[in-house]
Each structure stands twice: as C-alpha cells, then as structure tokens.
Structure 1
Amino acid sequence: MSVAERAGPVAPRIPAVAVLAHYLVGYRRTWRAGVFSSFLLPVLTVVGFGVGVGAYVDRGVGGVPYLDWLVPGLIASTALQVAVAESTWPVHSNFKWIRTYHAQVAAPLRIGDILAGHLAFVLFRVLTSTAAFLLVTALFGALRSPWAVTVLPVSVLLGLAIAAPTFAFSAAVPSDSYLALLFRFAIIPMTLFAGVFFPVESLPGGLRQLAYVTPLWHAVDLCRAAALGVAPQWSVTGHLVYLAAWAAVGWLLARRVFHRSLVV
C-alpha cells in the first residue's frame, strides 16, 4: 500500500493539474531549445518531400498537388512522433532511473492523477508541435480549406490514442532496449504504410488491411479531409470512435501497470 493510501481520506488530494504544472515548470527551462526545431523541421520536410519529391509527381494525387496532399499526413505523423517520444524514455526513466513516479506517489497523489497529469503534458507537446507545423504549411499555401483548423483536435486525439498505450508499454518493459524495438517494428512501419506518403490503396491487400487497423491511418484520413475540404474515405464518427477506443483501452492498461508498479 502506498503512503498516500495509508494516509486515508485526511490527506489532501493534489489534482492532476498539479502534476501537469510540475512538467510545465521543467519544460519552461528547455522550451527555447525546441522552438527552432519545431519550425525548422516542418520547413525542411515540406521543402524536401513536398517541393522536391512533389516535382516528380506530375499530376499530384487524385488531382491534388502532391504538397497539398502530403501536408496533412505529415502533421498527423508529427503528432504520432511527438506522442511516442514523450511516452517512451521519459516514462521508463520515471520508473527505472530517476523514479519520479515513486516520489509523486509518496505525496497525496493518486495513480490516476499521476498518469493524467503526465499524459496532459504529452498532449500539450503534441498540440504545440502540430500547431507549429500547421502554421508553417499555411505559410506555404498548402492548406486548401478553413476546416484545416480541426487538424489540431484530431492530432491531440491521435496523440492520446498513441501515448496512453505507449505509457503502459514503457512502464511494463524491464529494459529500455524494448523501446527501440517499439520504434523499429511498430512506429516506423506505421509511419511508412499508413497513408502519409502515398495512398493506402496502392498497397497489397494484406498490408492495406493492416494499415486500416493503425490509429495513424484514421487520423491521416481525417486530417487530409479537413485540410483539403473533402469528405474522408471513412466515416468521421467511425474515425473518432476508433481513436477514442485506442485512448480508452490504453488508459486502462496504463493505469493497471502504474498501479501494479507503484502500489506496494
């Protein structure tokens, strides 16, 4: 039993927002180092893939210039990459190396507050990163619809759908070498084959079905439809429910692993 649970109801509860504040205070000392890359990477990516590769795609994709077609997928992919980066080694280190979670559970903090506060910080990072990408691509004139602003909430939902189960994985594995395997066998293939760089329909049938299972494809389809001002390939409600299901299952798994690891 944790110190907080032994204290009983007389111990004052510290809400999840206090945990979020803890991470924001730390981020306040380092955010300047990330601002430059937050804008430089979208510029390099758009120029390299959209303008460079796009010059070899004569008719674009579905009658849309390749840059305009590519940008929404890149934004969703950015949300994925940030969510995973913030949910792997930072979470694992909080258990194994710096043991931040153990210090937090010794305070009047519940497991749910610890988990929710850290997830909220991850979503903050996803939101700021995708907002920077959206701004850069808007300056390049690659957004064709005012509905493009809805890319931001979709990216946050994707971030939660990815971060929550990744929290559970990072908390459960005994060594950080497993985190490298996650990138190699899950994140990189998902990024390559979930419709970011080319239509999923061009894949063989088996790979296409696997692409449809990934949460990234659902976010890419929503973001692309919003940025281009067209209907998505699948139901909007279906996309949102599917991403929410990933987030909910991931939350339950993460909460269970956190409870097992922190409550003694």
Structure 2
Amino acid sequence: MSEQDPRADTTTAPAAAGGHAAATPRQRYPQPLLPRNLRNWMMVWYRNYMVWKKLAIPSMIGNLADPMIYLFGLGLGLGLMVGQVNGVSYIAFLAAGTTASSVMMSASFESMYSAFSRMHVQRTWEAIMHAPLTLGDVVLGEIAWAASKAVLSGLAIMLVAGALGYAQMPGALLALPVIVLAGIAFAALAMTVTALAPSYDFFMFYQTLVMTPMLLLSGVFFPLEQLPEGVQAATKVLPLAHAVALIRPLMLGRPSEDVGLHLAVLGAYAMVALVVCLMLLRRRLLR
C-alpha cells in the first residue's frame, strides 16, 4: 500500500483523545465560500459593533485626529497663502478632500490591523466559523463593519465642515451614499492585503506604496489640473480620485460631472476586491 500524500484532503482523520475524530480544515470552515444568505454577515457586523461600543469614544478620537489635523493645519495655515482654489476658500476645498481621504484611511486600517488581529492573532474568525457561517459571511461582515466606521469618520468631518461654513448643508448629506460605496471599496481592497499579510509589518508596504501616493495624487490637497497630463491620466484608475470627484461637488453645492463613471469605478473596485480577497483567504485558511 503506497504512502498517502500528506497534502491530500481526506474525509477521515485519526481518532483524537476521547475517541473523537480530528476535524479537517474543510470540516472546520463551512462551505460554500460565498455568504450562506443575506443575513448571516450581520451577526459578524453586530459582534464587532458590540466590541467597539466599549471603546467608541477613544476610537472615534483616534480616527478623527489625523484628518482634522490636516484640515485645520493645512486649511488655515496654507490657506492664508493660497487664498481661493476653484472659486472657494482653500479650507473648503480641502474639507471635501479630507472627507474622502478619511473614508479611505478608516476603512483600510480597520480591514488591515483590526481584521488581521481577529483572523490571525485572536482567531476570532475560526471560532465564528464553528457556527453555521461561511468564510464569505465573515469577510462580508468584516468589510461592512470597516465601511461603517469609514462612514462615521467621513460624516463627522462633513458635519464639522458644515458647522463652520465650509460645506453646503444639508445638500452635502447627499454624499453619504458615495461615502458608503467608497468605504466598501477601500475596505475590500485592504482586506485583500490582509489575506496576504504574514504579520502587521506587511501593512507598511500598502500604506507607503499605495495609500500615500493615492492620497497625494487624487485631488485631496490640490486640483488635479495642476498635475502633468500623464499623471492626470494615471489618476483615473485611483479609487480615491473618483471618490473625491463625487464628494467635493456635493459638499460645495456644485453640479457633478461623470457621475456614472465614478460610481462604476468604485463599484468595480468593491466587487473585484471582494472576490479576490475571498479567494486568497480561502487558500490561506484552508491550506
């Protein structure tokens, strides 16, 4: 009798202590990969919410500190030198860009550091998947939770800007659906990085090589028209640039252009990144 391939996925396992068979990876992680239904992921979202609620105030302060520093530090300081940009004060121009960038930052950090802790360090995902939930339920719940935190961050900055007269309220609230879609897209992209990360240090590559250039080249701090034509063409593939292009006109009370294109790009990023991260996580967790 030939020796069995150790990589084979067998349906039987040696008896463990107490006479119970040891669970194989496919038995531990329910199938199919996709969400089992339209409700299960909400339980994952609710579990994360209940944990976050205990530290809600420090968490919100941490998420808002960085964008607020950019908004008031650059907006008030540099704004005195720049004056107006595209017919509005620089701080009003920056407030809309900061709203979009805070969505990216909040969704990305939640999907990377916090989700990685639950998946790899605390093994919360493994515990959840012993219930009748699939990996798809868990990942969709994590992405929805990261997007929810991104909406809180973006909405908070929008309300502050509106209270100070830097955003046209209540019309600016029409940007909320865009913030939700952008949050999902950035959360799904970051979850793909989490699926590949061997440790927390890996996330620095994504922050330095992807998030920082996107922050500087997407029209957050200055109009895209100031960039060379070749760079302007490259920004058309950046999801943050499309989010800024949708959020800024709504916050400034101006008509939006190419709405369908911007929404399609953000939607495509969300869908493709979701599929890719599911495939990568399946391979990681079932190997």
Q: Normalising by the residue count of structure 2, what TM-score does the alignment of the two structures yield?
A: 0.83
1:137-162 per-residue CA deviation (whole Å, 9 max, x = no partner) reads: 11110013543112222112111111
Q: Which runs of 5+ in 2 are unaligned?
A: 1-25, 32-37
Q: How does 1:99-248 map to 2 (within 5 A)?
A: 99-144=123-168, 146-232=170-256, 234-248=257-271
2:165 & 2:71 partners in 1: Cα distance?
11
Partner of 1:254: 277
Match of 2:41 among 12, 16, 25: 16
1:66-121 superposed Cα distances (whole Å, 9 cap, x missing partner): 11111111100000010111011222233332222122222211111111111111
Partner Cα separation in structure 1 for residue 202 and residue 67 of structure 2: 29
1:81 aligns with 2:105: yes
Match of 2:3 in 1: none
For 1:99 and 1:40, the matched residues in 2 are separated by 30
Instruction: Please give the alpha-carbon distance, in whole angstroms, between the structure 2 residues aligned to 1:182 and 1:40.
Output: 21
SS, match of residue 88 in structure 2: coil
Q: Which residue of structure 2 lines up, in the alignment, with residue 66 of structure 1?
A: 90
Choose which of 95, 98, 113 in structure 1 pairs with 2:119: 95
Query: Structure 2 counterpart of 1:164, which letter?
Result: A
Aligned-residue identity in percent: 31
How much does 1:40 deviate?
Answer: 5.2
Partners of 2:199 and 2:127 lie apart in 1 by 21
Instruction: Show CA shifts across 1:195-250 (max 9, x none).
Output: 00001111122222222210000010111111112233x41011111100000001
Answer 1 or 2: which has greater helix percent.
Answer: 1
Comparing 167-176 and 109-118, the one that deviates more: 167-176
In 1, distance between residues paired with 2:60 and 2:194? 26
Report which of the two structures shows the higher radius of gyration computed on alpha carbons.
2
Corresponding residue SS for 1:149: helix
Counterpart-to-counterpart distance in 2, 1:164 and 1:106: 24
Which of structures 1 and 2 has the larger relative contact order (alpha carbons within 8 angstroms, sep 6+)? 1
What TM-score do the two structures reach when normalised by structure 1?
0.90
CA distance in 1, matches of 2:211, 2:132: 36
One-letter identity of the residue aligned with 2:209: F
- Judge conservation of contact 1:215–1:243 (CA < 8 Å) in 2: yes
Per the alignment, do residues 42 and 256 of structure 1 end up closer, same or farther by CA in structure 2, a change over 3 Å counting?
A: closer
Q: CA RMSD in A?
A: 2.3
- Name the SS of the counterpart of 1:127 in structure 2: helix
What is the number of equivalent residue pairs in this alignment? Answer: 258
**CA contact under 8 A between 2:112 and 2:190: conserved in structure 1?**
yes
1:53 to 56, 78, 82: 78
CA drift of 1:173 comes to 2.6
